[in-house]
């Protein structure tokens, strides 16, 4: 899995997304070649390196031939995408983004998606931004898109519908359920196109997930604000596992005709052979016969030794074996110094967070007997030392 995490501390727009994709290593010529599959004339795509408050970023320009501009309906845009020779997955994502945008506009204007005139958001540059984003994420091998909370800016913006508050109504509609906030920057930081892309493709929104970072890229916005880098940061990497993982086998057998005194030795011997766990469960078998279910968890390398012990030390004539996957916390043994002496602690972690800390019972029992104090007092003192 490859994650693309968009850090929207200065908002998000279509050109910022394209800029971040190019900055991440997708050549502008490659992006041009893929976009040419739309068979759309009337624009030119360029990319420049720029500085935004001390941060180097890539600015992608969609230069439009204004004489070629058309007002388009959703059906027109979907037809352009469908007739293209783009990959099916890119067509599907691009169509979903524009459909989400149309639904938001339709709700705001109390009409249907098919009656929407897209105006600014249906212009040629937005088609290029939207489809280009889907193409770029595909070229980067992204399998999951995540995002921070979205900075939408503040103030008002002039549109074909008049002066509207920021975030624009359609933008606010698409960002429902997504954490967002306003800043003191008097500018539309989150555009309808940017909101449509991230709200459609994003699967989760919040803090940066645990990941091994491979690339960090920056896409520049049009404006250069004093003292505030107007960039979209794109962090690409692989998720890091929160838990250790391994594969084991469970061996089970039902026994209803063995002397109960033998089970203690059986479990002790199996554990001495390196099994991960061995346990006994009372069960009722057919005809109401009481029995014991013997269960052993072990890795495959110990399987033959455990089977030999079971068949030699019990009356079983057959076992069930199934493979299982395990997820485990990182574990370590650490000694702590207490007023009563040194005690080993079993510490379990998830990343840097300690989730459990358990004093070693044998150490606590030994000290309790030596000092003539309750075991629980020794255990509580050991926990205080972490």
Buried b or exposed e, range 143-179, using 16+ CB within 10 angstroms: eebbbbbbbbbbeebebeeeebebbbbbbbbbbeebe
In contact, 189 and 232? CB cutoff 8 Å: no
Q: pTM for this one?
A: 0.69
Q: How confident is the model at residue 119 (pLDDT cuts 50, 70, 90)?
A: low
**What is the mean pLDDT of the segment spanning 96-103?**
95
In contact, 338 and 363? CB cutoff 8 Å: no
Q: In 3D, which of 154, 155, 152, 209 has the Cα closest to residue 176? A: 152
**What is the mean pLDDT of the segment spanning 103-108?**
92
Question: How many residues are present in the chain?
Answer: 386
Q: In 3D, which of 327, 332, 356, 146 has the Cα closest to residue 241? A: 327
Write the pLDDT tens digit of every residue in 39-93: 998 899 999 999 999 999 999 999 987 665 667 889 989 999 999 999 999 999 9
What residues form DSSP beta bridges with 11? 9
Question: Which pLDDT belongs to residue 244?
Answer: 77
CA distances from 190 to 120, 152, 186 (A): 14, 5, 12
Give yes or no for residue 227 having a pLDDT over 80. yes
Token pair of 362, please? 């044998």
Sign of CA dihedral 180, 182, 183, 188: positive
Write the pLDDT tens digit of every residue in 320-364: 999 998 888 888 899 999 999 999 999 998 877 888 999 999 999
Q: In 3D, which of 53, 55, 62, 63 has the Cα closest to residue 18? A: 62
User: Three-state SS for 344?
Assistant: strand
Alpha carbon distance 363, 343 (integer Å): 6
Of residues 73 and 368, more confidently modeled: 368
**What is the mean pLDDT of the segment spanning 177-192?**
95
What residues form DSSP beta bridges with 292? 255, 282
Q: In 3D, which of 144, 156, 132 has the Cα closest to residue 30? A: 132
CA 377 centroid distance within chain: 43
Candidates 3.40.190.290, 3.90.1300.10, 3.40.50.11890, 3.10.20.300; CATH matching 330-384: 3.10.20.300
Alpha carbon distance 124, 122 (integer Å): 7
Spell out where 137-269 has E strands.
144-147, 150-151, 156-159, 162-165, 180-181, 202-205, 211-220, 231-239, 244-255
Q: In 3D, which of 237, 238, 236, 225 has the Cα closest to residue 11? A: 225
Alpha carbon distance 29, 268 (integer Å): 68
DSSP designation for 209? P
Token pair of 45, please? 């795509």
Q: How confident is the model at residue 121 (pLDDT cuts 50, 70, 90)?
A: very low
Alpha carbon distance 292, 283 (integer Å): 6
Residue 291: phi and psi, rounded to 5, are -155, 175
In contact, 194 and 12? CB cutoff 8 Å: yes
Q: Does domain 244-328 have CATH number 3.30.200.20?
A: no
Sorted by sequence, the CB contacts under 8 Å of residue 113 that are 6+ apart come out as 74, 99, 102, 103, 105, 106
Question: Which pLDDT belongs to residue 65?
Answer: 78
Average per-residue pLDDT in the chain?
Answer: 92
Q: How confident is the model at residue 120 (pLDDT cuts 50, 70, 90)?
A: very low
Rounded (10°) angle between helices 14-23 and 124-139: 30
Give yes or no for residue 385 having a pLDDT over 90. no
Domain boundaries, the chain: 3-239, 244-328, 330-384
Same fold, 244-328 and 330-384: no
Question: Which pLDDT belongs to residue 66?
Answer: 67
Task: Characterize the bridge pairing of strands 3-7 and 144-147.
Answer: parallel
């Amino acid at each position: 899995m490859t994650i693309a995490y968009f850090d929207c501390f200065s908002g998000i727009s279509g050109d910022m997304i394209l800029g971040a994709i190019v900055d991440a290593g997708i050549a502008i010529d490659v992006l041009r070649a893929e976009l040419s599959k739309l068979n759309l004339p009337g624009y030119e795509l360029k990319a420049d390196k720029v500085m935004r408050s001390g941060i180097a970023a890539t600015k992608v320009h969609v230069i439009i031939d204004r004489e070629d501009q058309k007002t388009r309906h959703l059906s027109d845009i979907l037809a352009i995408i469908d007739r293209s020779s783009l990959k099916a997955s890119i067509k599907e994502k691009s169509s979903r983004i524009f459909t989400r945008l149309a639904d938001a506009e339709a709700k705001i204007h109390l009409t249907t998606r098919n009656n929407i005139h897209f105006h600014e958001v249906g212009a040629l540059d937005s088609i290029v931004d939207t489809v280009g984003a889907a193409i770029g994420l595909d070229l980067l091998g992204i399998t999951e898109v995540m995002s921070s909370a979205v900075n939408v800016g503040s103030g008002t913006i002039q549109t074909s519908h008049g002066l509207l508050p920021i975030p624009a109504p359609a933008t606010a509609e698409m960002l429902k359920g997504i954490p967002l906030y306003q800043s003191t920057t008097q500018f539309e930081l989150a555009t309808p196109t940017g909101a449509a892309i991230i709200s459609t493709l994003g699967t989760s929104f919040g803090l940066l997930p645990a990941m091994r970072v491979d690339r960090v890229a920056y896409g520049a916005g049009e404006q250069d604000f004093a003292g505030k880098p107007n960039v979209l940061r794109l962090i690409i990497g692989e998720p890091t596992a929160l838990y250790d993982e391994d594969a084991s086998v469970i061996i089970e057998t039902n026994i209803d005709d063995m002397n109960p005194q033998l089970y203690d030795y059986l479990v002790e011997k199996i554990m001495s052979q390196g099994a991960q766990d061995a346990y006994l469960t009372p069960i009722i078998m057919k005809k109401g016969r009481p029995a014991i279910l013997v269960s052993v968890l072990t890795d495959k390398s110990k399987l033959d030794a455990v089977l030999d012990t079971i068949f030699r030390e019990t009356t079983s004539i057959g076992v069930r074996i199934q493979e299982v996957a395990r997820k485990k916390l990182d574990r370590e043994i650490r000694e702590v110094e207490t007023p009563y002496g040194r005690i080993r602690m079993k510490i379990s972690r998830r990343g840097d967070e300690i989730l459990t800390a358990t004093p070693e019972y044998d150490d606590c029992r030994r000290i309790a007997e030596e000092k003539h104090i309750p075991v629980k007092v020794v255990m509580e003192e050991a926990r205080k030392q972490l």
